[in-house]
Amino acid sequence: MTAALVHDYAGAPIGAPVYELSNVSKTYARNLVVALQDVNLTLRKGSFTSVIGSSGCGKSTLLKIMAGLIPPTKGRVVLQGKPVTGPRRDIGMMFQQATLFPWKTAAENIVLPIEIRDGKAAAKKALDKAHELMELVGLKGFENVFPNELSGGMAQRTSICRMLITEPAVLLLDEPFSALDELSRDMMNMELQRICREQEATAFLVTHSIQEAVILSDEIVVMKPRPGRIAEVVKVDLPRPRTLHMMTTHEFGEIVDYIRGMLDKGEDM
């Protein structure tokens, strides 16, 4: 592979490094809590990575630093060859709550990032693409519906479209389906897998669920607390596409048990 190809991120080949964190540390000045210490991590194009660890081990801090929402105290975060120094267009984010504007229709909510970035005319032009994305996530026919008429799962599907409309290079997901019931959550996870595969997206998910991490991920970053550090990056070799049925297999159970064992050790990992 030539150097030129490695650095052509827009069309970067599957498996090329997209996100690179080197020696990232964070100490909050207010209380001197060392939330992260020497985190080194590479996300590769088209990969799905989850981060798991006990409450307070620094998962959200890591995601916020990757998103450019807060700076690290030390270390470097590079996305597509450029240091992350603030929020960027090539980063898509999704949170626990869909946070849709109630006075805008589903389709208008989806084109909102375009409206903020490029103005009303550009947003209007993007409506066709919004409709295509809505079809992709099973929301055809709900384009002109207001958020109060959508179920929790439908609202989160809408916010997936809003994240995808700007064609971000990476998707940062902070427990996006944790407010949904278990059945909807399983369905949405399978939907997320399908979308990520179709879009060749690079995804990074914060979760508290070992099962969710295993069924979705190529790699799981297991963190240990106080200060937050990477204990191990566990590779998940289950074949793709993953199905919910795989959650009943011996291989799946083994990986879940292994990670649970690590988390049970807590600080002694």
Q: Minimum CB separation from ligand ATP for residue 28, in Å?
A: 3
Amino acid identity at 26: K
Q: Minimum CB separation from ligand ATP for residue 94, in Å?
A: 16
Contact 7, 193 (CB under 8 A): no
Residue 37: count other Cβ atoms within 10 Å of its Cβ. Answer: 20
The smaller minimum CB distance to ligand ATP, of residues 75 and 147, is found at 75
Stretch that binds ligand ATP, among 26-34, 162-170, 241-249, 257-265 (CB under 6 A): 26-34
DSSP letters for 222-246 = EEETTTBEEEEEEE----SS--GGG
CA atoms within 13 A on the CB side of 157: 27
144 near ligand ATP, rule: CB under 6 A: no
250 near ligand ATP, rule: CB under 6 A: no
Q: How far apart are CA 32 and CA 269, in angstroms?
A: 23
Q: Which of 1, 3, 55, 268 binds ligand ATP (CB under 6 A)?
A: 55
35 near ligand ATP, rule: CB under 6 A: yes
Q: Which of 2, 31, 85, 148 binds ligand ATP (CB under 6 A)?
A: 31
Residues from 230 through 249 that contact ligand ATP (CB under 6 A): none
Stretch that binds ligand ATP, among 25-33, 93-101, 133-141, 231-239 (CB under 6 A): 25-33
Q: Minimum CB separation from ligand ATP for residue 34, in Å?
A: 8
**E-assigned strands of 53-133?**
74-79, 82-83, 91-94
For residue 216, what are its two tokens? 């979705």
Q: How far apart are CA 171 and CA 155, in angstroms?
A: 18
Binding site for ligand ATP (CB under 6 A): 28, 30-31, 33, 35, 53, 55-61
